[in-house]
Amino acid sequence: MAETTSTGPERGARERIADNPLWYHTLELAPGAVTPGWFDLRPVVDRLPWPDVRGKRCLDVGTYDGFLAFELERRGAAEVVATDIADHESWDWPARMRARGPAALAAIAGPEKGLGFRLAAELLGSRVERVEVSAYDLSPDRVGEFDVVVCGSLLLHLRDPIAALEAMRSVCRGQLLSLEEVRLGLTLRHPRRPVAELDGAGELCQWWIANAAGHRRMVEAAGFDVVRATRPFAEPFGPGHPARGGVRARLRDASTRTLAGGAGVPTAAVLAAPAV
Ligand SMILES: C[S@@+](CC[C@H](N)C(=O)[O-])C[C@H]1O[C@@H](n2cnc3c(N)ncnc32)[C@H](O)[C@@H]1O
């Protein structure tokens, strides 16, 4: 049926999508109605080392618009909880960005954190429950325990990623799937030595970007054993991603295409289990 352009409760999916000033994830919310996300995980989602989630209680930490939480649901999880912080102030802003970071983010993403998730969940008819709790504050008392915990592209935004992983460990009775941006140059130069690049300055609120060995070590340092690890792959930019200009970005894009097999953010994923 053709989409309507009414203002009533039956407003079409495309109009609802346009209500959200910024989509982080590219999601198809109705046939042909796709969000203009900054990132499009759809082409790489099947390459992740997924555990079997069927019938399991699952947690997605730092969900943004919910792509990974909806994927857990699609894969047959019995229950999915998706967590995120409540507002733009709650990111781990570096000291120099703390005063102006939240307003700068609100200017592009809109004032309402979680709007994209709520719209997506409604249009998808999802039963995923979104809970506002920082990754640092996850505990069995707060959210219960989970068979599977998923965490994507969050650790690089945290001043203390190991503390957040330890909190995830406290609620994980099964497996952790962690996917994170990695530095390809550091991965090539140090295939086995864990190293990370420190940012802690810019408005993207980024702290530690590790090489692939560094990502694995972070997970291990928090009390997990790595069961499987992928080689770096490119997490593709979505249709809404701002144009990337400048020599540095072009060089980085070229090396990602060569070393990670495509355009996007160099990412590595690990499947891990709590160490006994
Ligand atoms: C870069 S996005 C990643 C979205 C999604 N997990 C993915 O892999 O595509 C980072 C997400 O982590 C959230 N976040 C930032 N700090 C957090 C914290 N301390 N605890 C939980 N989530 C946090 C952000 O609000 C955002 O939703």
Domains detected in the chain:
13-274 (3.40.50.150)
Amino acid identity for residue 132 in this structure: E
Q: What is the dihedral of CA 156, 240, 134, 222, to 10 degrees?
A: -30
Instruction: Determine whether 187 is exposed, middle or buried from the number of CB atoms within 10 Å of its CB (0-12, 13-18, 19+).
Output: buried
- pTM summary value: 0.95
Q: What pLDDT is stored for residue 5 in this prediction? A: 47
**Spatial contact of 185 and 212, defined as CB atoms under 8 Å apart:** no
Give the CA distances from residue 61 to residues 14, 248, 251, 252, in Å, rounded to whole numbers and listed in that order: 27, 31, 32, 28
Phi, psi of 267 (to 5 degrees): -135, 145
Residues of the chain short of pLDDT 50, as ranges, are 1-6, 8-9
Q: What pLDDT is stored for residue 260 in this prediction? A: 93
Q: What pLDDT is stored for residue 10 in this prediction? A: 58
Ligand 1 centroid, distance to 54 Cα (angstroms): 24
Ligand 1 pocket: which residues have CB below 6 Å?
Answer: 24, 61-64, 67-68, 83-85, 91, 134-136, 152-154, 157-158
**Spatial contact of 61 and 158, defined as CB atoms under 8 Å apart:** no
Please report the atom of ligand 1 found closest to the CA of residue 64: 27
197 vs 181: CA distance, rounded Å: 11
Q: What pLDDT is stored for residue 46 in this prediction? A: 97
Q: In which element (H, E) is residue 233 found?
A: strand 233-235
